Amino acid sequence: MSDIQTPTVRLKPKISPRQIRFGAPWIFADQLVLDRRSRNIAPGAIVAVEDGNRQPLGYGAFNANSKIAVRMLGLGPVEDVDADWFEARFARAAALRDRLYDAPYYRLVHAEADGMPGLIVDRFGDAAVVQPNAAWTDSHLDALCAGLQKAVPVSTIVMNGSGRARKLEGLDERVDLLAGQLDGPLAVPMNGATYMADLIGGQKTGLFYDQRPNHAFAARLAGGQDVLDVFSHVGGFSLAALAAGAASATAVDGSASALELAEAGAKTSGTADRFTTRRGDAFAEMEALAAEDRQFGLVICDPPAFAPAKPALEAGLRAYERVARLGTGLVAPGGYLVLCSCSHAADLAKFREVSLKGVGRAGRRAQILHVGEAGPDHPVHPHLAESSYLKAVFLRLD
């Protein structure tokens, strides 16, 4: 791609280009010279990036309407971001996952960490769900899908264009079937269980692959136990626990459709006779279970992101402390408690601190057995803390 045909944006003179040259993936709007010309560049356009001395840095995707004005796509000369460009990046991402997993069920693209900032792709065998969360992914959607199908043998592609990230980019929310067809939820084998993923109507991409190693570790604690899976979604922890020999599992969630999928997964897994569900607000249901004097050998609490950004941090930490306190009260003596957070604004130290405070306020003491994170199909970008977001703290209570 010729630099003559490509718009150019430039860092402010006092902004050091060092971090960009070292691989930092974002350039914020207040770091750029944003004049009338640059503000007229179409959102999602590919731009050449220069330092404050007009020396070339690389190329990226531009959106003057976003706080993240440039998402870097590469260093060196500008490349054509076409189907072949996408094919090469998808093929590189797939090669890693196929080395890690025996079956094609995984996160195929983890945004910045896979060189495609703002893009999430989860693979479900012959189908894939794409989350184009940045303007450039939306404007290059045809090339993206063509490159995906050239690199990976998928015939069905679903676009899930929902969520907070798209709003921040000025994008609308929509869900579309871009290729192929779907006849209903798909069966996904994982950790000895079968999960049902609704790729069209489900939450995000339909299934949370990031918790896979934590499901497996919890399952090691589940043999012979009564298990409580709070904020269960489609039964992530409970179905794995049942497959590992749990005596029973109870899934709690506010979504009727998610619990229906969990029940379908238990039936398909052959564990429906040991599986029950409770629909309602998770906090209210935990209080109700305590009033019923119910106790469980293993309790897992995997709530949504209570602190998705720094302004929500303090309120989010209070919510995590409350989850820990209520969950602790439902653990039988000598039992296990698993507390999870997917809030990148709440780092591990803060999350662990408030979790243990909640355990203490419930009158219990704990051993920390293990701290889990997302699986290797969710690689971490070394210059982007946000790509390391998932925390799971495994405790044994006195």
Query: Do 303 and 340 contact (CB within 8 A), yes or no?
Result: yes
> How far, in Å, CA of 57 to CA of 91, rounded?
25
> How far, in Å, CA of 65 to CA of 346, rounded?
27
> How far, in Å, CA of 131 to CA of 307, rounded?
21
> How far, in Å, CA of 118 to CA of 132, rounded?
6
Query: Do 106 and 120 contact (CB within 8 A), yes or no?
Result: no
Strands 296-301 and 275-279: unpaired
Q: How far is CA 52 from CA 16, 33, 55, 137, 393, in A?
A: 8, 9, 7, 27, 45
Catalytic residues: 342
Between CA 349 and CA 356, with CA 354 as vertex, the angle to 5 degrees is 95
Judged by DSSP in three states, 74 sits in strand
The dihedral through the CA atoms of 15, 17, 18, 19 has a sign that is positive
Whose CA is closest to 84, among 136, 131, 151, 132? 151
Q: Tokens 């009338």 correspond to what residue?
A: 36
Judged by DSSP in three states, 332 sits in strand
Q: How many CB atoms lie within 10 A of CB 178?
A: 15
> Residue 303, CB half-sphere, CA atoms under 13 Å: how many?
24
